Structure 1
Amino acid sequence: MNYSLESILCNVIQGDQAAFAKLYRHYRTPALKFCLYLLKDQEEAENMVHDVFIKIWERRASINPDLNFSSYLFTCLRNMAFDYLKQVEKSQLLKQRYMERMESAHHEEVDDQENRFKSLQTAINSLSEKRKMILLLNIEGGKSYQEIAELLRISKNTVKNQLVKAKQLLREKLDYALPA
């Protein structure tokens, strides 16, 4: 560092804001290029340069003017860039794990629905033929009690009783078959 930069740094250490502005202008472009090289992101590089200079201002009293300020600055920038890249990598890993879990949960949900459907089919098939026919005409066919009674030539009350019993048996079998 030449004499004028040394004196500027000494003034910065003493709290001179105008000297800090000169120091910033002197190092801004090379610092920005360095960060851009590491991060490959213009906006993030600019933010990082600003953040490092803010930290330098806040810690100005602890800066040793006898040491190489340029090395200090670029070491700070490098460390901050590496911390940022680690954080980005961790964030991407967390996002990837989240997406994998969501995909796995989706497959489990589909498997669970398939198992429920199979259990329902098995329970329906275990009904007597007459109950099964009444149930299917009502649920799948959308037929009313009266329509089923006329179709099967039984009373409306028999249709109602058979549907109540069929649904009760299905509930019992499905509650038993499905995991809690």
Structure 2
Amino acid sequence: MTVDLATRTLIGHVVHGDQAAFAQLYRTYRTPALKFCLHLLKDRDEAENMVHDLFVKLWERRASINPDLNFNSFLFTCLRNLTFDYLKQVEKSQQFKQRYLERMETFRDEDTADEEARVQRLQTAIDGLSHRRKAILLLSIEEGKSYGEIAELLRISKNTVKNQLVKARQLLRDTVDVAIS
């Protein structure tokens, strides 16, 4: 009974704004509160933050604390509720993150499908080029040959190579809407 009376007296002083009484209340309940939160959260830093936040809220709302009620039950009920709210928030955050990642994967799949369709259109357009124009384009793009090297290989002038490449690229841009460099 003396503990209850001492606690009630201490809470009464806190309610009236006694900072020394609040410091005593904090020293008395900090360790058990921390152990309780740590047991539920399994994260020491978050448990310490939660206990600290609760005591800040208690000080801010001290006028609404009833010294006649069981402070121990009140304190641990508040901690339990804060912990459960935090865990719900973490779960929602994880669900949001998972949905975001799934959406990004969907967009990536769509981008891959778009890219595949684009490559297919490009290949069809290249296949539609004349034999000579296709050969010049492939030597330039796939093998990285210069105008002079292509001209020498195909025994045509550099000017012909240049003109054929310009025409091939323009046709591909018009057909596939792809800029070929």
**TM-score between the two structures when normalised by the length of structure 1:** 0.88
Q: Which stretch of the first structure deviates more once superposed, 150-159 or 60-69?
A: 150-159
Tell me which residue corresponds to 1:76: 78
Partner of 2:93: 91
Deviation (angstroms), 1:60: 0.8
Match in the other structure for 2:46: 44
Aligned length: 176
**Cα 1:32/1:142, change in 2 over 3 Å:** closer
**1:146 equivalent in structure 2:** 148
Q: Quote the offset at 1:3 in angstroms.
A: 1.3
Instruction: Report the identity percentage.
Output: 70
Cα distance change, pair 120–76 in 1 and its aligned pair in 2 (3 A):
same
Report the secondary structure of 2:156's partner residue: coil
Q: CA deviation at 1:10?
A: 0.9
Question: What is the identity, as a one-letter code, of the residue corresponding to 2:166?
Answer: V
Q: 2:163 is aligned with what amino acid?
A: N
Query: Structure 1 unaligned runs (5+)?
Result: none
CA distance in 2, matches of 1:72, 1:108: 54
| 1:115-148 CA-partner distances (Å, limit 9, x unpaired) | 2221111110000111111211222232222332
**Distance change in 2, residues 1:172/1:4 (3 Å):** same
1:15 equivalent in alignment to 2:12: no
Residues 93-132 of structure 1 correspond to what in structure 2 (within 5 A)? Answer: 93-132=95-134
Q: Taking structure 2 as the reference length, what is the TM-score of the superposition?
A: 0.88
Q: 2:55 aligns with which of 49, 53, 56?
A: 53
User: Partner letter of residue 15 of structure 1?
Assistant: G
Which has the higher mean CA deviation after the structures are superposed, 162-171 or 102-111?
A: 102-111
In 2, Cα distance between equivalents of 1:41 and 1:146:
69
- Over 3 Å counting, the alpha-carbon distance change for 1:33 and 1:150 in structure 2 is closer
